[in-house]
C-alpha cells in the first residue's frame, strides 16, 4: 500500500487469534518523496529473491515527472531496499490523480503517461524498461514512444449508449435527445477506448455527418459519470 508523500507499506494478514493486520515492512524512500500511487509485483516464477515491488510516483509539482521505483520484495530488517529508480514519464494534471499502474510482462516494465506538447495538446507516451542491453545500463527506458497528434474533430457528442446495431450506436444525450453514431471508422483505426456496452457513457468525436444523420466517429472514449455534469460540451 502507498499514499501521497508516504512510505510504501506491506502488511501481513494474521488469522489468529482473530483476523488482524501487522506491518511487514516499509520502503527506504524518505518521507516527502512519493514512492508510488499504484504498485505491481513481479517475480521469476518462484525463484527465491527474484520478487520486485514496482511503484510509479504521482507528480505534485513542476516539472510534473513520474518516477518508476523498484524495491526488493524481501525486506532487510523490515525495510524494502530501493534497487532502481528512473524518470518514467510525466503527468500534466498535477491536481488530479495519476492512475498509472506499472505493467510487467516478459522481463519488461511498461509505464504509460501523458504530457503537453509545445502547442498545449495532451499526448500519450509509453516508456519500456527491461534488462540492461549488452552495451551497458543507462538508467533510461529501452523504448520510448509518443502518440500521434489527434485529428481535430468538428463535432463532439456525449451520451449513454442505449442500443447497438452492428457499428451503428444510439446515444441518449444529456438533454434526452437521440444521436446516431457510426463507429466503423473508429473501430478500423483502433480509436475506441471502452467496451461498447449498453448503459455506458460515451464521448464521440468526428468530422463527418452521414446522409443518415449518423456522426462518423473518429474516436470513441468513456465519458466521465452518467449524469452528464462532467461531459464535454456537445458541438
pLDDT of residue 151: 52
Residues 17 and 132 in one domain: yes
Give the residue-averaged pLDDT of 109-118: 85
Residue ending a domain, among 146, 171, 189, is 146
Query: Would the pLDDT of 124 be above 80?
Result: yes
Residues 142 and 165 in one domain: no
Residue 233, in any domain of the structure:
no
Q: Which domain holds residue 115?
A: 9-146
Residue 29, in any domain of the structure:
yes
Give the residue-averaged pLDDT of 113-126: 78
Residues 85 and 190 in one domain: no
Residues 117 and 199 in one domain: no
Residues 22 and 113 in one domain: yes
What total number of domains does the chain contain?
Answer: 2
CA 194 to chain centre: 13
pLDDT of residue 60: 64
β-pairing verdict for 122-130 and 143-146: antiparallel
Question: In this structure, is the dihedral angle defined by the CA atoms of residues 43, 46, 47 and 49, taken in order, positive or negative?
Answer: positive
Sheet hosting strand 38-42, strand order edge to edge = 38-42, 52-56, 65-72, 82-90
Query: Would the pLDDT of 115 be above 70?
Result: yes
Residues 124 and 215 in one domain: no
pLDDT of residue 66: 86
Give the residue-averaged pLDDT of 66-70: 89
The answer to whether residues 132 and 108 touch, using CB atoms and an 8 Å cutoff, is no
pLDDT tens track for 164-192: 999 999 999 999 999 999 999 999 888 88
Residue 129, in any domain of the structure:
yes
Residue 230, in any domain of the structure:
no
Residue 124, in any domain of the structure:
yes
Residues 99 and 81 in one domain: yes
Q: How many CB atoms lie within 10 A of CB 163?
A: 12
Split at pLDDT 50, 70, 90, the class of 197 is: very high
Rounded Cα–Cα distance for residues 10 and 84 (Å): 19
Query: Would the pLDDT of 162 be above 80?
Result: yes
pLDDT tens track for 141-160: 888 877 655 556 789 999 99
CA 70 to chain centre: 18
pLDDT tens track for 21-42: 998 888 877 545 555 678 899 9
Residues 78 and 193 in one domain: no
Split at pLDDT 50, 70, 90, the class of 56 is: confident
Give the residue-averaged pLDDT of 199-211: 92
Q: What predicted TM-score, i.e. pTM, was given to this entire model?
A: 0.62
Residue ending a domain, among 121, 146, 171, is 146
Reading the block at residue 94, the C-alpha cell is: 498535477
Give the residue-averaged pLDDT of 99-116: 89
CATH number, residue 184: 2.40.50.140
Residue ending a domain, among 105, 120, 146, is 146
pLDDT of residue 180: 97
Amino acid at each position: 500500500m502507498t499514499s501521497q508523500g508516504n512510505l510504501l507499506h506491506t502488511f501481513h494478514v494474521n488469522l489468529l487469534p482473530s483476523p488482524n493486520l501487522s506491518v511487514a515492512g516499509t520502503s527506504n524512500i524518505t518521507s516527502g518523496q512519493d514512492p508510488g500511487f499504484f504498485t505491481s509485483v513481479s517475480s521469476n516464477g518462484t525463484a527465491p529473491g527474484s520478487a520486485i515491488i514496482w511503484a510509479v510516483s504521482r507528480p505534485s509539482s513542476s516539472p510534473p515527472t513520474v518516477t518508476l521505483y523498484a524495491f526488493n520484495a524481501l525486506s532487510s530488517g523490515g525495510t524494502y531496499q530501493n534497487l532502481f529508480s528512473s524518470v518514467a514519464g510525466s503527468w500534466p494534471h498535477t491536481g488530479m490523480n495519476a492512475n498509472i499502474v506499472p505493467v510487467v510482462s516478459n522481463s519488461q516494465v511498461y509505464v504509460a503517461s501523458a504530457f503537453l506538447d509545445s502547442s498545449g495538446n495532451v499526448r500519450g507516451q509509453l516508456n519500456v524498461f527491461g534488462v540492461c542491453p549488452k552495451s551497458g545500463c543507462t538508467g533510461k527506458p529501452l523504448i520510448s514512444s509518443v502518440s500521434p497528434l489527434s485529428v481535430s474533430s468538428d463535432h463532439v457528442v456525449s451520451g449513454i449508449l442505449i442500443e447497438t446495431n452492428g457499428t451503428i450506436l444510439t446515444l441518449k444525450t444529456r438533454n434526452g435527445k437521440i444521436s446516431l453514431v457510426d463507429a466503423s471508422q473508429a473501430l478500423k483505426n483502433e480509436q475506441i477506448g471502452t467496451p461498447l456496452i449498453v448503459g455506458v457513457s460515451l464521448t464521440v468525436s468526428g468530422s463527418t455527418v452521414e446522409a443518415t444523420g449518423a456522426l462518423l466517429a473518429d474516436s470513441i472514449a468513456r465519458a466521465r459519470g452518467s449524469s452528464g455534469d462532467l461531459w464535454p460540451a456537445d458541438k
